[in-house]
Amino acid sequence: MNAYRQTVIALTLLAGAGAASAQTTVITREPARTETVVTTEQPLVLTPVQRQTVYRTIVREPVVEAAPPTVEYRVGMRVPPSAQLYAVPQSVVTEVPAIRSYKYMVVNHRVVLVDPATSEVVAELAN
């Protein structure tokens, strides 16, 4: 009888251990999602020759002026989301690689370079 009692106790303990391990819950969390925003950390610096090259090449492109003559954009201003921005022509990027990541628009016969990540005017070029 004593052996039977020890067997029952041992089985009960083993069954309890199995139930305890079945109750263990593992919670895993997904890593937090972050958005990548590309911003320009250094101001755009162009030599006078580069400015002239960019301006002369872009004004030859057939584009529509982006705003009425009363609107003026200055460096540091943000352009509205509705502004039509154009990719810089490859011929200009070849000669002035520093402006590869920018877009442009023509306002008041001026070429306005815009950082597309921030919609901020980074340069204004005129004849």
What sections of 23-89 are H helices per DSSP?
A: 48-59
**Cβ proximity of 54 and 96 under 8 Å:** yes
The whole-angstrom separation of Cα 23 and Cα 121 is 60
Going from N- to C-terminal start, the domains of the chain cover 48-125
The residue type at 105: M
Cβ neighbours for 63, distance < 8 A, ≥ 6 positions apart: 86, 105, 106
Domain 48-125 in CATH: superfamily? Answer: inner membrane protein cigr (3.10.450.160)
Q: pTM of the entire structure?
A: 0.61
Sign of CA dihedral 83, 91, 60, 108: positive
The pLDDT tens digits of the residues spanning 10-46 come to 666 655 555 555 566 666 666 655 554 444 456 788 8
The pLDDT tens digits of the residues spanning 50-98 come to 988 888 888 887 666 655 556 788 899 999 888 889 999 998 899 999 9
